[in-house]
Structure 1
Amino acid sequence: MAQILQKKDIQVIKNLKAQGKKIVLCHGVFDLVHPGHILHFEEAKKMGDILVVSITAAKYVRKGPGRPYFDDEMRMKFLSEIACIDYVMLSDGYTVDDIIETVEPDLYVKGQEYAKPEDDITGKIGEEVALVRAHGGEVAYTTGQVFSSTRLINKALPSLPPEVKEYMEDFHFRYSMDEIKAFTEKIQDKKVLVLGDAIIDEYIYSRIQGLMSKDTGYSARFYEKEQYLGGALAIARHVASFCENVTLMTVVGNEDGVHSRILDEMSGNMRVKLTISNQFPTIVKTKYVEANPKRAELNKLFAVNNLPDPMCIDEETMQKFKDVLLEKIKGYDLVILCDFGHGLVDEEVQAIVEHHANFLALNCQTNSSNYGKNIITKYHRANAFTLDQKELGLAFSDYRKSEDELLLQLSEHLQSGGFLTRGSSGAECVEGGKIKRCPALTLQVKDTIGAGDAFFSVASLYAAVGAPYEVAQFMGNIAGALASNIVGNKEAVEKVNVLKYASTLLNV
């Protein structure tokens, strides 16, 4: 029986190494150990004297919501019962770097499917090899038959909702992971401009204590406050994970620290062009939330914003913004316009974008501050559009028509394909007069705020490089599922996580 070893007890390995023992390291998620893993471990053990097997801690596994299927304790326990393994360790990171630096193996052994760095979705294998060699070790690859824990789990265990499993069994016969990776590589070189309202999302974490003793309002206890970059800022961060050339253009107020904070938190490969207004404030949307004691999803209690009435940015600031936009817009392959209806996109900005964008991805949002006043049909042209069910209903206000009929009507109006997000019912896409559906890929959520923006960001990118809209919808749905498990816009949806989740789902 193998010993489960903590990093603080690594002297045990060092002593064996000092005795001349050759230390071999294998690493993975090992969510469901199968015959391929056993053969891999046995072949690795024959390459040295002591076999150490490490697993990625659950919170760092990037295979989508609900993975790993088995927790850290169960996965380590199972591995510890395999005769050829001597020590089992837990890696606290997205990569195996912490284990390599701690164990300093003489040999780091991977399966043959990792022998070609170009096939690695994470792009980290080359870095792992370099780190092993920097610590005096070498890398080898086993030659046994390749199995897949992910495929076994998808087929044998209730890891996917039935409608998702059925959808993926059909989808994977028409589209492969290699095709998706090819579209992803095309995205990388696109020059993208993100336009839209900048928003700061503020979360006040609290707990309802009851009613006020002398009034009818709620009484709540404050715990903490956090702020995240939202609106166009969040969309630009999602896009920058996929593209090397991203520019964000927006308007913000002159509040202390806002400008520097945005520049500090945006990706290093992004150009940020902020037009500063001395009159219009940076938009802050404050949400009072309460942790749910029985599930991960946050309860939304109340929301407040600082939007001025009317929502009009001063003329001087708008003219500066329009001048820069008109000068630069033609130089971008793709313009992603996120119109939140908070004053940035007036008729003139709309005209500039519609007339000069080479490829226009459009999202025109309805919210409580602009309800019924920011309708997507004010636009006359797009190359791809995204909206939700409520926004589609407001677009034509025709209760006699079905949702599909309205979606087709909007597609004809904008002369483009597009996407309809449907919350827990998934999404629909329209292309060439045909509608295709994709179910919600997960019903495990923490916070749905920002999920639609993540869908819009990623689906637009794939549509812009010529991917079938069904593929773009699938990738957007993945981004939305991942974003719904991130509180607010605390983190961007990362390309590697989207690809890993796509690989998981296609492995049916």
Structure 2
Amino acid sequence: MPIIKVQSLDNLQKIVEQLKKEGKKIVHCHGCFDIVHYGHVRHFMSAKEQGDILIVTVTQDKFVRKGPGRPYFSEDIRMHMISSLQCVDYVALNQWETAVEIIKILKPDVYVKGKEVVENGNVDMVQGENGKISNIKAEEEAVLSVGGRLHFTEEITFSSTRIINQITENVPDEAKIYFGALKSKYSADDIINQLEHLRGIKVLVIGDAIIDEYVYCEQMERSGKEPLIAYHLLNSELQAGGVFAASNHIAGFTNHIELITCMGNNSHYEFLKGKLKNGIQTHLFLQNESKTLVKRRYVDNYKRQKLFELYSSKGIEIGKLNEGEIIKCIERVLPQVDMILITDFGHGMLTPAMIDTLMNSNKFVALNCQLNAGNLGYNFITKYRRANFISLNEREIRLPMQEKNSDISVPIEKLNKILNADSINITMGKHGSILYHKGNYYRAPAFTKDPIDTIGAGDAVLSLLSLLTYKGFDPELVSFIGNCVGAIAVRTVGNRESIDSIEMNKFVKYIMK
């Protein structure tokens, strides 16, 4: 009877236990293995020489963070591709982001990696108990803890990422040309090392509290009595949006965040406590007469298409007593921070008196003033009188500047005269972005063709670019990193995940190959 190579983790654990009782030596390899090439085959053959049974575990699709359009092949295809190799005895899917947990479950005698992982040690980082450590170090500690050892193969190496970057259609041609030009000025390591300089920045983040909810539905038959499309409710998920999402993005790069916002009597406080990252000091005010805004989006689960959006309230109406307390909090926090990030979604949090307090400070100000279904035409960026860095989408600058069809430089320069901003970043969807900095323009194409969800991407771009601009990064790098952030953000649903330095470093490393 032929052996079934592809196994569930539970079954594989039992198989390994039996094989060990029979005296077999277990060898374990783990990775993405997106395109199985000659280098992989040599790696597996060399690994098999270290024992009797070779097990290969594969990274789940959702944990593959190697740039736009990755993985190229689904987890099922990747597992079955590997199982076809004669030297491989068993294949399973890893349920975790790293191999640490699965090593502890399978308890291999030898855990095998290619020598190239040592070169990527400063990129492939994970969060350990005592801070960040290299992924390979965490895996080595895991295999040693179960009585095994780490072994490196010395076979010829190829890069699946480089191969895919050359053949994939998920990266626009314009982006490939752009990457080529950038590589002549910067290496991936240059960029990654500069990102580490953001760690000490102290940030005040202030803005609207929003809870994002995604409700997944399945289409049924048309109603028998009325011309309605009926849907069956499947499940839903809550996400920390608005000012919380921006704070989480920033917390991925620096550990000093003061968050100020106001919530209603449906505060979702317990939910939020589990969603905010370490390093965020919260100053949450309660307005009992109002409700925290929940933006509920109904999604066709099969098509992954949004059907409609429902606002649970019109936002927060700040009372005079609360307004005074929040202003006192702002004044108390300002001396402790280097810069201010204002995320104004136009839902009532930022009153004119609060804005005056923020504008009167001498701190670096980064600003977004969003136009959305709840405030269109009533939340223009011109209600602010200064900013050092501004990030908007094209509509958010054209509408207040009353420039519908002109070249994008026209509204940018009009806004600059009003707010005297050193840097203005405009995101333009599939057309990429344009950054204005002290009279010069820096254009960058979109880095991906197939966004999953654009909700929250602008907030992610604003959050990281505000840090870069405060730190004085080369504007060309600011523009590049902004589009990296956008490409990462549109690959996840809404604000389900925030961006951090580990993910950014991996993305930069892989697209710059």
Q: What's the C-alpha RMSD, in Å, of the aligned pairs?
A: 2.8
In the alignment, structure 1 residue 456 sits paired with structure 2 residue 453? no
In the alignment, structure 1 residue 271 sits paired with structure 2 residue 281? yes
1:195 Cα offset (Å):
0.7
Q: Name the counterpart of 1:387.
A: 392
Q: Aligned with 1:352: secondary structure? A: helix
Q: Over residues 223-279 of structure 1, what are the superposed CA-to-partner deviations in whole Å (9 max), with x where a residue is unaligned?
A: 444432211111112222222222211111233x53333223222332111012233
- The alpha-carbon distance between structure 1 residues 432 and 88, as it changes in their structure 2 partners (threshold 3 A), is same
Q: Distance in 2 between matches of 1:133 and 1:89?
A: 21
Q: Name the counterpart of 1:502.
A: 508
Q: Name the counterpart of 1:432.
A: 438
Alignment of structure 1 residues 481-496 onto 2, 5 Å? 481-496=487-502
Q: Distance in 2 between matches of 1:13 and 1:218?
A: 51
Q: Aligned with 1:115: secondary structure? A: helix
In the alignment, structure 1 residue 366 sits paired with structure 2 residue 368? no
Q: Name the counterpart of 1:44.
A: 47
Q: Is the Cα–Cα contact under 8 Å of residues 121 and 136 in structure 2 kept in the other structure? A: no
Q: Over residues 390-416 of structure 1, what are the superposed CA-to-partner deviations in whole Å (9 max), with x where a residue is unaligned?
A: 111123214574212222333454331
Q: Give the fraction of aligned pairs with identical amino acids, expressed as a percent.
A: 33
Q: Name the counterpart of 1:189.
A: 200
Q: Name the counterpart of 1:323.
A: 328
Q: Report the AA paired with residue 315 of structure 1.
A: K
Q: Distance in 2 between matches of 1:370 and 1:212?
A: 37
Q: Aligned with 2:105: secondary structure? A: helix
In the alignment, structure 1 residue 478 sits paired with structure 2 residue 484? yes
1:65 Cα offset (Å):
4.5
- The alpha-carbon distance between structure 1 residues 208 and 94, as it changes in their structure 2 partners (threshold 3 A), is same
Q: Aligned with 1:326: secondary structure? A: helix
Q: Distance in 2 between matches of 1:113 and 1:259?
A: 45
Alignment of structure 1 residues 77-226 onto 2, 5 Å? 77-115=80-118, 118-123=121-126, 124-206=135-217, 207=219, 213=225, 221-226=232-237
In the alignment, structure 1 residue 290 sits paired with structure 2 residue 295? no
Q: Over residues 203-233 of structure 1, what are the superposed CA-to-partner deviations in whole Å (9 max), with x where a residue is unaligned?
A: 444448657946x887655444443221111
1:422 Cα offset (Å):
0.9
Q: Distance in 1 between matches of 2:230 and 2:36?
A: 51
Q: More displaced, 138-147 or 314-323?
A: 138-147
Q: More displaced, 383-392 or 480-489?
A: 480-489
Q: Aligned with 2:92: secondary structure? A: strand
Q: Over residues 105-146 of structure 1, what are the superposed CA-to-partner deviations in whole Å (9 max), with x where a residue is unaligned?
A: 122122223236842433332221111111001112223343
Aligned length: 500
- The alpha-carbon distance between structure 1 residues 377 and 188, as it changes in their structure 2 partners (threshold 3 A), is same
Q: Is the Cα–Cα contact under 8 Å of residues 330 and 356 in structure 1 kept in the other structure? A: no
Alignment of structure 1 residues 388-427 onto 2, 5 Å? 388-399=393-404, 401-412=406-417, 413-427=419-433
Q: Is the Cα–Cα contact under 8 Å of residues 60 and 92 in structure 1 kept in the other structure? A: no
In the alignment, structure 1 residue 70 sits paired with structure 2 residue 73? yes
Q: Is the Cα–Cα contact under 8 Å of residues 280 and 314 in structure 1 kept in the other structure? A: no
Q: Distance in 1 between matches of 2:21 and 2:233?
A: 55
Q: Is the Cα–Cα contact under 8 Å of residues 361 and 383 in structure 1 kept in the other structure? A: yes
Q: Name the counterpart of 1:258.
A: 268
1:419 Cα offset (Å):
0.9
Q: Distance in 2 between matches of 1:345 and 1:231?
A: 13
TM-score by length of 2: 0.88
- The alpha-carbon distance between structure 1 residues 291 and 465, as it changes in their structure 2 partners (threshold 3 A), is same
Q: Name the counterpart of 1:247.
A: 258
Q: Distance in 2 between matches of 1:108 and 1:166?
A: 39
Q: Report the AA paired with residue 371 of structure 1.
A: L
Gaps of 5+ in 1: none
1:425 Cα offset (Å):
1.9
- The alpha-carbon distance between structure 1 residues 84 and 357, as it changes in their structure 2 partners (threshold 3 A), is farther
In the alignment, structure 1 residue 349 sits paired with structure 2 residue 354? yes
Q: Aligned with 2:125: secondary structure? A: coil
Q: Name the counterpart of 1:339.
A: 344
Q: Is the Cα–Cα contact under 8 Å of residues 329 and 357 in structure 1 kept in the other structure? A: no
Q: Is the Cα–Cα contact under 8 Å of residues 65 and 506 in structure 2 kept in the other structure? A: yes
Q: More displaced, 49-58 or 126-135?
A: 49-58
Q: Is the Cα–Cα contact under 8 Å of residues 24 and 106 in structure 1 kept in the other structure? A: yes
Q: Over residues 1-56 of structure 1, what are the superposed CA-to-partner deviations in whole Å (9 max), with x where a residue is unaligned?
A: 99334431344433443444432222111111223323333333333343322221
Q: Report the AA paired with residue 187 of structure 1.
A: L
Q: Over residues 152-206 of structure 1, what are the superposed CA-to-partner deviations in whole Å (9 max), with x where a residue is unaligned?
A: 1111343423232222222232222112211221222322221101112234444
Q: Is the Cα–Cα contact under 8 Å of residues 381 and 416 in structure 1 kept in the other structure? A: no
Q: More displaced, 224-233 or 314-323?
A: 224-233
Q: Report the AA paired with residue 280 of structure 1.
A: S
Q: Is the Cα–Cα contact under 8 Å of residues 484 and 508 in structure 2 kept in the other structure? A: yes
Q: Aligned with 1:272: secondary structure? A: strand
Q: Is the Cα–Cα contact under 8 Å of residues 153 and 159 in structure 1 kept in the other structure? A: no
- The alpha-carbon distance between structure 1 residues 404 and 72, as it changes in their structure 2 partners (threshold 3 A), is same
Q: Name the counterpart of 1:307.
A: 314
Q: Aligned with 1:271: secondary structure? A: strand
- The alpha-carbon distance between structure 1 residues 89 and 400, as it changes in their structure 2 partners (threshold 3 A), is closer
Q: Distance in 1 between matches of 2:374 and 2:465?
A: 26
Q: Aligned with 2:318: secondary structure? A: coil
TM-score by length of 1: 0.89
Q: Distance in 2 between matches of 1:91 and 1:225?
A: 25
- The alpha-carbon distance between structure 1 residues 254 and 73, as it changes in their structure 2 partners (threshold 3 A), is closer
Q: Name the counterpart of 1:281.
A: 291
Q: More displaced, 10-19 or 266-275?
A: 10-19
Q: Is the Cα–Cα contact under 8 Å of residues 197 and 338 in structure 1 kept in the other structure? A: yes
Q: Report the AA paired with residue 301 of structure 1.
A: F
